[in-house]
Structure 1
Amino acid sequence: MLLALLATVVWSGSFVATRGMAGTVPPVQAVFWRWIIALVAVAPFAARQAWHQRALIRRHFRYIAVATLFGVTLYNTLVHQAGLTTSASNMGMIMAASPVIMALYARLGGERLGARRTFGMLLAAFGVLLLVGDGSIGFHFGAGDLWMFAAALSFATYSALLKRKPAELGGLAFLITTFALGALMLAPAYAVSLAVQGGFRASTGSVGMLLYVGVLSSAVAFFAWNKAISLIGAARAGVVYYLQPVCVAGLGFLLLGEHTGPAQLLCMALILGGVGLGARR
């Protein structure tokens, strides 16, 4: 549960960083450099294990490629694309749809959710709906919000796929392989982006945000999330993920000066209550 919480908090900050890069770093270029930085960060710890397990990686390459497509290539590209036209708060709140999809995948896979966890999930989901709707069940979605819904579906699919990871394949070997493969998948789109949009001007702000999403949001958070899934399953970890809108709202208040009123506090209380119920065994 603590590993899932660590990943959730770090990813909450990544939405602020992603939004900060909007308009200065093209989405595909931001995601490509994110994984290059992540590769450099994990290589000292993971390269040896990946080399020793290269035969396992070749044997399970099809599974690794599918997991990479949803969790590394598509998900993060969709998030950065959404950051062009929607706020960091909206991004975090819409991503809270992921646990519902994770729970549905778990149920389809034969996992029993239990009454308490189901009620907790529904309570947290209701809080998220109110938070997105500014205190009412009503929605006005823009293009960026729709990109985020696609990102939520992609991330939930990746989380469900993690339960199928071969037990003999080490977590670090899996991580560095997905990072390398994700960068390769993005390379053609990166080349097109350079040709059409040109490169971006590196500044202290853009480099700092790329380092955050590359080292913390990619290397650290993905390792923590993958480990959490292997220990407690996607459905239970997904309940913790409901805390993301609360974390993003808090960061938005502290870093961006976004207003948090009584209605938002009530919604956050519902989310926290639902997470507390759903996280218990």
Structure 2
Amino acid sequence: MKASPKSNFPAFLMVAVAPLCWAGNIVLAKGVAELIPPVSLAFWRWMVAFMVLLPLTWPYVKRDWRTALAGWKILGLLALFGVTIFNTLLYSAMHTTTAINGALIQTTMPAVIIVISLILYGERVSGIQAAGVVLCVIGAGVVVLKGRWQALIDLALAQGDLLMIVAVVLYALYSALLPKRPNMHPMSFLTYTFGLGCLGLLPLYLWEISAVGTFTLTPGVAGSIAYVALFPSIVAYFCWNRGVAVIGANRTGLFINLIPVFAAILAIIFLGETLKSFHLTGMALILVGFVMFNRQG
């Protein structure tokens, strides 16, 4: 028997927390782009998150070690896509694009989740839901091209925008593969994926130190690492994974479209960024698509 929308309200509320945390992650990454190299920020984000989680989740981690070992392949893939690569690309992208652009580009993720879910699981969507996805993609395209469709022909796209596109495809794959994760406690799952993600980042981190050097640990930098380790990592990932489990990957994926709303507000307040007409047009299309997709098809 399908749960009623009212019974799923706590899950929807939890999912909404994740884009708020991730919007803060994008804005902060842009703000500290000149202070912390991208791989260093990603590595210490996940290392601190792992060290915070491990003592709290140790009983579950110890209990689930056989399950984790049996499912090491899917755990490794989820850690690679969702932890190691996604945030490294996001932090790199913030060097050559704006926080608002980065947030709006993430709205292509639901469409990719749907395509991947269709391929992997044969999931179907109604006509109005498909139209909603198309509107979301068009809205994101308006942002990427800055309202100039000639830019697509000229390939005049910012490097950061392209990195963000690759990043959201990989995180969409992470979201679509979540139902295949081993049957273990949610906090145990997070601890294992964070730890594996750190292992995947370690070679890149050592390379970055040798290539560009390390960073100065000022109070501001330490606070930034603490924020990204706690809120976009532990809090957001738990809420996101719980949402996928309760309301499904497709519906959860559409909540990504709330990131640009939150990010635009935060970027204007903290970074002094400005909303352009193409931002507003793209955001309007995205929000309309979001509403259409969440209608009962």
Query: Partner residue of 2:223?
Result: 208
Structure 2 match to 1:171:
186
Deviation at 1:54, TM superposition (A): 0.8
Matched residue type, 1:248: A
Where does residue 228 of structure 1 map in the other structure?
243
- Please name the residue that 1:79 is paired with: 90
User: SS of the residue aligned with 1:202?
Assistant: coil
Give me the whole-angstrom Cα distance separating, in 2, the residues matched to 1:151 and 1:261.
24
Contact 2:101 2:143 in 1 (8 A): no
Question: Separation in 2 of the partners of 1:111 and 1:74?
Answer: 26
Q: CA deviation at 1:261?
A: 5.0
Tell whether the 8 Å contact from 1:107 to 1:113 is kept in structure 2 after alignment.
Answer: no
Q: 2:122 aligns with which of 107, 110, 113?
A: 110
Aligned counterparts of 2:234 and 2:197: Cα–Cα separation in 1: 13
| 2:157 counterpart (136, 141, 160) | 141
**Structure 1: which 5+ residue stretches go unaligned?**
none
CA distance in 2, matches of 1:265, 1:194: 40
Contact 1:43–1:176 at 8 Å: present in 2 too? yes
Count matched residues: 280
Please tell me whether the aligned partners of residues 243 and 275 of structure 1 are also in contact (alpha carbons under 8 angstroms): no
2:49 counterpart of 1:67: no
Q: Deviations over 1:134-179 (max 9, x none)?
A: 445454312222211111111111111102123x222111100010
Q: Distance in 2 between matches of 1:78 and 1:260?
A: 24
One-letter code of the match for 2:202? A
For the pair 1:124 / 2:136, whether they are aligned, the reply is yes
1:259 aligns with 2:270: no
In 1: Cα distance, 2:107 partner to 2:214 partner? 33
Deviations 1:11-55 (A, max 9, x none): 011011111221221111111100111113323432211111111
- Equivalent residue number for residue 97 of structure 1: 108
Q: Is the 8 A contact 1:120 1:274 kept in 2?
A: yes
What are the ranges of 5 or more consecutive residues in structure 2 without an aligned counterpart? 1-11
Superposed displacement of residue 241, structure 1: 0.9
AA of the residue aligned to 1:145: D
Structure 1 contact 41–219 (Cα < 8 Å) conserved: no
More moved, 36-45 vs 175-184: 36-45
User: How many angstroms apart in 2 are the aligned matches of 1:181 and 1:261?
Assistant: 40
Moved more, 247-256 or 154-163: 247-256
Instruction: Look up the equivalent residue of 2:73 and give its one-letter code.
Output: R
| TM-superposition CA deviations, 1:160-201 (whole Å, max 9, x none) | 1102123x2221111000101111111122222223322210
Which residue matches 1:31? 42
- Of all paired residues, the percent bearing the same amino acid is 34
The one-letter amino acid of 1:204's match is P
Q: State whether residues 54 and 191 of structure 2, in contact with CA within 8 Å, keep that contact through their aligned partners in structure 1.
A: yes
Does the Cα contact within 8 Å between 1:240 and 1:279 map onto a contact in 2? no
Is it true that 1:245 corresponds to 2:260 in the alignment?
yes
